[in-house]
Amino acid sequence: MDQNRMAVVIAIVVIGVIAVAAIAFVTSRKRRSQKLKERFGPEYDRVMRQEGDSRKAEGVLEFRQKRREKFNIRPLSAANRSSFAEGWSEVQARFVDDPQGAVTLADSLVTDVMQARGYPIGAFEQRAADLSVDYPVIVDNYRAAHDIALRHSSGKASTEDLRQAMVHYRVLFQELLDEPKTHRRGA
C-alpha cells in the first residue's frame, strides 16, 4: 500500500472516530436533558426561561440535585405529623378573622415542617430551589403563596388573594406531611 492510500485510510478512520464521538456526545446530552425534563417537569421550563440557555439551566438543576443529595430528608414522626396537622387547623381557623396573620403563620408552619423533615432553612429562593428537587410541580404553589404574601405586605393583595395563598400553602403543606419521596416526576 502506498503512502497516499495509507493517508486516505487513516483520514477516513479519524473522521469515523470523530463522527462516532460526536454522535455519542449529542445522544448523551439529549438523554441528560430528557432525564432532567422528566424529573423537574414545569420547574425545568421555569429555570430554562430564567437562564435563557439549556446548558446553563441544566447546570442549575444538576447543582440542585447534588445539593439535595447531601440533605438527610426524613419522614415526620407520628407525633410531629399530628402536631403539624393540628397547627394547620388552627391556621385555617384564624383566616376568618385575620387573613394576613393566617398567611404569615401558614408560611411559618410550612418552613417548620421543612426544617423538621431535614431541609435547610435559608432565604426563600434557596428553600424553593431545594424543594424543587423533590416537589417540582408544587414548588410553584410555594412561590405563588410567597409572592401573594409579599404583595399583601405592600398593600397590593386582596383578601381573595390571601385565600389563594392559603390554598397554595395547603398543597405544599399536605405533601410535606406525607412520607418523603426521593424522586418526584414532573407530572
**Which domain range does residue 34 map to?**
3-69
Last-in-domain residue among 69, 93, 109: 69
140 in any annotated domain = yes
Q: Is 110 part of any domain?
A: yes
Q: What is the mean pLDDT of residues 100-119?
A: 95
> Are both 166 and 92 inside the same structural domain?
yes
pLDDT value at 154 more than 80: yes
Same structural domain, 50 and 96? no
Last residue of a domain, one of 47, 69, 91: 69
Higher pLDDT among residues 36 and 174, named by residue: 174
Q: Are residues 119 and 139 in the same domain?
A: yes
Phi, psi dihedrals of residue 78, rounded to the nearest 5°: -60, -40
- Residues 50-86: pLDDT tens digits? 999 888 999 999 999 999 999 999 999 999 999 999 9
pLDDT at residue 102 is higher than 90: yes
Regarding whether 28 and 91 lie in a shared domain, the answer is: no
Q: Do 136 and 164 lie in a common domain?
A: yes
More confident residue, 4 or 99: 99
* Residue 182 counted as domain residue: no
Q: Does residue 157 register a pLDDT over 60?
A: yes
Q: What is the pLDDT of residue 7?
A: 82
Domain identity same for 85 and 12: no
Contact 140, 150 (CB under 8 A): no
3-state secondary structure 58-113: HHHHHHHHHHHHCCCCCCCCHHHHHHHHHHHHHHHHHHCCCHHHHHHHHHHHHHHH
Please check whether residue 139 lies inside any domain of the structure: yes
Query: Residue 134 is placed in which grid cell?
Result: 423533590
65 with 155, same domain? no
109 and 154 both lie in a single domain: yes
Q: How many domains does the chain have?
A: 2
Q: What is the mean pLDDT of residues 154-182?
A: 88
Q: Does position 184 have pLDDT exceeding 80, yes or no?
A: no
Residue 83: exposure state from Cβ atoms within 10 A (0-12, 13-18, ≥19): middle
Mean pLDDT within 74-99: 96
Structural domain contains residue 185: no
Return the pLDDT at 83: 97
| Final residue in a domain of this structure, among 19, 47, 69 | 69
* Mean pLDDT within 96-115: 95
Confidence of residue 26 (pLDDT cuts 50, 70, 90): low
- Residue 179: pLDDT band (50, 70, 90) is low
Residues 30 and 111 in one domain: no
Does residue 186 form part of some domain? no
Q: Flag whether 187 is in a domain.
A: no
Tell me, what's the pLDDT at 31?
A: 80
Question: According to the model, what pLDDT value does residue 59 have?
Answer: 94
Do 112 and 167 reside in the same domain of the chain? yes
Same domain for 61 and 82? no
Residue 96: pLDDT over 80: yes
| Pair 107, 61 in one domain | no
Average pLDDT, the chain: 89
